[in-house]
Amino acid sequence: MKRIPFGAGGNAFENLTVATRILLARAGQSEIIWLARTPTTLEDFRVFLIELLTPLGVPKDEVIFFVGRLLAVATSCEERRLREYQKIPWWDFIQAPQMSKAYQAYLGQGPTRSLVAMRAEESSTRTVGVTQLQLFYDLIRPDRLFDRLLSGPTNDVWIDLWVEHLRGLGVDFHFGARVTKIGTTGSRVTTVSINGGAGEASITADYYIAALPGEVMAPLMNDELKRAAPSLANLDYLKTRWMNGIQFFLKDDVPLANGHVIYLDSPWALTSVSQRQFWANVDLSQYGDGGVRGILSVDVSDWEAPGIILGKPAQECGADQIKDEVWAQLKQHLNTGEWRQIDYANLQSWFLDPDITFPIQVRLPMPNPCSSILQVRCNTDRRPRWSWKISLWHRIMCGPIPISLAWRRQTKRPGGR
């Protein structure tokens, strides 16, 4: 068409105009509108979100309302997000109590629980809204990737390499040691006491960085530290949630999807990855007894909801009960009719995250040194401030270990090590 002349120096190709929508008209049902181009405007983004969420079976008017709520966050300045949205639970912001069960389950709770281990009823609109928007942005931008996974066991392709690199830079590791005290003199951190296999020791350094989960750091905050940096006292009030995993080693590989699987109706907010397809250069027969051909890694993001077998939450179950319950919830989602994607006969062995320790004390928090901070409303006001730089000469930075999710999901090899 570009070679066909038109007008004064033009061509026929220039007579083409861009169509931006496709309407799917259905007999006796509401129509569906698809986006016919990469989103370039706010209205394009709105149509894309409606199109993406329509197949979930949520009433159309509720989908439109939910998208409007997302766009309200998208078009709000950071000051409003901090001052206003941080104080509003996501559940209330999207008016979930007034909506259908499908809306509550799939738009209110589903992605929030499964992807970031947060409860919509407690978590702030700022945190949940911005997180969900970032995920959607990654879907529509051609220069971004929504999801990436490591090409082998995490220790092999990341952690061990990192440790070796840090040692080369002069870092001295004390594995198996627990921090028992942070010593201070006035507004200055002077020592850190540890207790490990070699007994007790005191470490002196120029700077101290505490990369620990909030509830592990909180007991270390003695009165002297709290006086030197008052905002550290608020660590006691931060809420946390667990996101720990279990791995199923399979006799035959089951590549469910080339990425994450989200089990939207699972009480324990399960997500999974079939690892083998991403581990192209890993020979699974070299691990364990040589019989493993596939690995299904599963994260449990809700440890407080009752399960479908015993009616108990995960934090009240034993290791075998957790395994049976997770497997049952997987089967409930994956095995429909005659189509059975997973079968117990295909299970070679399993491995539960060692951060889950037993025995469990009912009605008390189960030990878990790698939980994640829950960004509930008003949590921002209680998080430690950068004013530490002033109040503590040798500052302490505290927060969840950023690699914890990847480590829990992939670090275990078949057969263990």
Identify whether residues 319 and 382 lie together within a single domain.
Answer: no
Given 3-state DSSP classes, what are the helix, strand and coil percentages for the chain, each rounded to the nearest 5? 40, 20, 45
> What phi, psi does 31 have (nearest 5°)?
-75, 160
Q: Is residue 160 located within the same domain as residue 256?
A: no
Structure token pair of residue 106: 């799939």
Instruction: Express each pLDDT in 163-212 by its tens digit.
Output: 999 999 998 888 888 899 998 887 788 899 999 878 899 989 888 888 88
What is the widest separation between alpha-carbon atoms in the chain? Answer: 89
DSSP letter, residue 412: P
Residue 17 and residue 134 share a domain = yes
Express each pLDDT in 336-394 by its tens digit: 877 788 899 999 999 999 888 775 443 334 445 555 544 555 555 666 654 444 344 44
Does residue 51 share a domain with residue 72?
yes
pTM of the model: 0.76
Are residues 21 and 125 both part of a single domain? yes
Q: What is the DSSP string of 175-202?
A: TT-EEEEEEEETTEEEEEEEEETTEEEE
Most confident of 117-126, 239-248, 292-301, 330-339: 292-301
pLDDT at res. 84: 93
What letter represents residue 296's amino acid?
L
Residue 310 belongs to domain spanning: 243-366
The reply to whether 59 falls in a domain is yes
- DSSP string for 139-161: HH-TT--S----SS-HIIIIIHH
* 249 and 306 housed in the same domain: yes
Domain assignment present for residue 37? The answer is yes
In a domain, 415, yes or no: no
Residue 21 shares a structural domain with residue 128: yes
Sign of CA dihedral 312, 308, 351, 270: negative
Same domain, 75 and 123: yes
Give me the CATH number covering residue 295.
Answer: 3.30.9
Q: Do residue 230 and residue 292 come from a single domain?
A: no
Last residue of a domain, one of 94, 116, 140: 140
Domain assignment present for residue 378? The answer is yes
User: In the numeric block, which tokens belong to residue 283?
Assistant: 């020979």
Location of structure tokens 């019989």: 291
- Provide the number of structural domains found in the chain: 3
- Domain identity same for 330 and 342: yes
* Angle of the 60-74 helix axis to the 125-140 helix axis, nearest 10: 100
